[in-house]
Amino acid sequence: MTVVARCIKTMAFKLGGNMNEQRIREIANQCSDFAEQIPFFRGIENGLTWEATIQKARDLKFTELVIRECMTICDEIRADYFKHRKAADDFTDKNIYAEGEAASDIIKYKMKKHFGVEE
């Protein structure tokens, strides 16, 4: 199994196979609160009704927050690899843990760029 595959497997494990239902509700509520700040308007603006604008804002915020959550998990995994690398005595083990750190950084970077999420 490659280091990247191990990182992805660890991320899936940390998410419990899928995201915790309660956490998804919390994120959805944050998105609703965010979207409800958009002032009401009649008619169409930017090709969307007010209701469609609210839904779009809610969906975009939900995506952003889920990706941020995944990026945080990448940071946690990287920290675990770093801790193990520092504790390792064997040079080969240190290299394996360093590859894990790099893989965590790469996954985080790719998510960030693919979804356009800023830190």
Structure-token pair, residue 76: 């946690």
Residue 1 pLDDT greater than 50, yes or no: no
Give the model's pLDDT for residue 16. Answer: 57
> Is 105 a residue whose pLDDT tops 90?
yes
Other Cβ atoms closer than 10 A to 85: 17
* Across 2-28, average pLDDT: 64
> In which domain, by residue range, is 23 found?
3-115
User: CA-CA distance, 33 to 22, in Å (whole number)?
Assistant: 17
Q: For the full predicted model, state whether its pTM sits above 0.85.
A: no
User: Does residue 104 contact residue 77 with C-beta atoms inside 8 Å?
Assistant: yes
26-74 pLDDT, tens digit each: 888 898 888 888 888 888 888 889 888 988 998 889 889 989 988 999 9
> What is the pLDDT of the chain when averaged over all its residues?
84
Count of domains in the chain?
1
Structure confidence at residue 102 (pLDDT): 95
Cβ–Cβ < 8 Å for 61, 34: yes
Confidence category of residue 117, pLDDT binned at 50, 70, 90? confident
